Each structure stands twice: as C-alpha cells, then as structure tokens.
Amino acid sequence: MIGILAAIAATAVAGAVGGSTVGLTPAQQQELAARLATSGRASLIRLNDIDIQDYKPRPGTSDQYEFLLIKRGGDTLFTLADGRFTMQNVRIGGGGAGPNAIFVGFSGGVHCCYTAHIIWIEGRLHHQEVELGDSQLRVVSISNVPQLRFYDFAFAGWNASFDDSPAPQVILSYDPRKGEYVADAQAMRQTPPDEAMLRLRAEEIRKVYDGLHPGDLDPVLWSAMLDMIYAGNAASARNLLDAAWPPDRPGKDEFLAAFTRQLWSGATWRRFDLGRVVGAAEAFPPPPEAR
C-alpha cells in the first residue's frame, strides 16, 4: 500500500505542467490506492500512443471521486481527480493545433465547481487546467482556431444574490507560440456604445437607483459595466458609472473603489491577465495589492 501511495504522489508531482499542478489530496490518494489494490476496472480511451484510464465511482460503495490516469507505455504520466468527469471534446490527429481531448470535471455541490482539463497528446504531452467556477464550457472553432468560451463568476454574490449576479464572458484561443489557450482580446472585443446608446443605458440605470434606499445597490449597474469592460470598452464603463449614478446620491467613490478591488482580485482575471488584455487599467487602475 505504501508503494502504491508513493507512486501516486510521484504522479502528482509529474503532473505539474502548464503552470498548474495536477495533484491529489490525501483523501483522493487513499481512495485511488484502494481502487487499484482491489483491481478496480477502468474504461479505456486510446489516443495515439496515450491511454486514458477512467476509474468511475463504483455503485453501492463509498467512492467519492472519479480518476483519470493518463499513461504512455504503461507508465502513468499524470492523474486527474474530481467528483465526476465529462469528455467535452476529443480529436485524433489534425496537425496539433489545439488539444486531443478536453475533460470537464465537476466537484459537486451548489454553485461549484467545474474545471476544464485540456490535454495535448500530439508531440509533447501537455496539460492545461482552467477553473470555470459555476460556468459550463463551450468549445468552438473560428477560422480553424480553437476557442474556449465560459463565464467569469468573480462577482457572484457581490452585493447581490448569486442568481442576480452578472458573469461576463471570457474567450480563450489557442496560441501556437505558447502551446496553450490564452485570453483573446480580438475575440472578446466589441464595438463601443455610441453616445446616444450610452446615455439611454445610463438613464435606465439611474431610474433604478433613484428608487433605491440610501446605501442600497442594484447589480443592473455593474452588470452593464462588466459587459463593457470584458468587451474591451473600459472607458465606456467608467463613463456609464458617472452618467448613471444620481448626482445627489452619496457613495459613488466607495462603490468605485470596492468594484475595482473585486475586479482585479478575480481568479480568472488574474490568471489570464485580463486587465491588460481588455485594456482596463487606465479607466479602473488596479489597487496597490493587485499591482
């Protein structure tokens, strides 16, 4: 048993690729060791010279996790563990642009948590992990460039219920120079709203805020702001705040400071350098702790 656990621990270390660590918790190590010790059977997916062994939870047992063991020539290269896995995309051959397989793991529970695992098999074996939070993943191809599309839940529960919280879209595209997916400024960029459209949107939001009690906030404001920011129009979002906030209503500076801190603290925002990608720093300067 100790030998099996040591082998699994070594596998977790070997999985530290693509800037993310594919590791197992002690509880996951123990469960996988027990699964292997009892000769638990796995379903097999074969891609080129790689075998992906899928150990699903066994009905009628206390199993909590599903495991994917990625192997070549009998050697385990790395191991993935989550509550459940779904194969989102698979491709054999095709020139190496993009992954051979994408699995989405789900931890279970309310509003949590999906993780995309992108596995390249052609050439060097490579893995990239993308935390999706509560978002589903869309895999698309635009002009033969693979894209991953999902929603950023960094503002979930911020001054609003989860259901009322905005979640702007993030688009990652495959970058052959880096060999993985990066935030795509061009794909995310949209035409900025013209003056008339911005004025109309500000009037709608101001009416909502005119009807609120002092100190109350409504996500209609930062929902519109986030849509503009993630679309590369941070200056429009800043102008919207100034135009929409009722002139006799206190608290705008406090709201702006808190909103900016939340924006720059988001895990996806930081992981994919979205502040630079969408050009948000001038309109919403990062707080000292984010610099």
Which pTM value belongs to this model? 0.86
Taking the CB of residue 126, how many other CB atoms lie within 10 A of it?
16
Q: Are 280 and 263 in contact (CB under 8 A)?
A: yes
> Mean pLDDT, the chain, as a whole number?
86
Indicate if the pLDDT at residue 173 is higher than 50.
yes
Of these ranges, 63-77, 112-126, 169-183, 223-237, the one predicted with the greatest mean pLDDT is 223-237
Hey, CA dihedral for 234, 239, 261, 209, is it positive or negative?
A: negative
pLDDT digits (tens, 9 = 90+) for 101-110: 899 999 987 7
pLDDT attached to residue 99 = 62
Indicate if the pLDDT at residue 92 is higher than 50.
yes
Average pLDDT over residues 77-82: 92
Lowest mean pLDDT among 3-12, 56-65, 188-197: 3-12
Residue extent(s) of CATH 2.40.128 domains in the chain: 2-133
Return the axis-axis angle of helices 234-244 and 220-230, rounded to nearest 10°.
160
- The side-by-side arrangement of strands in the sheet containing 84-90 is 84-90, 101-106, 114-120, 126-133
- Mention the CATH class of domain 2-133: mainly beta
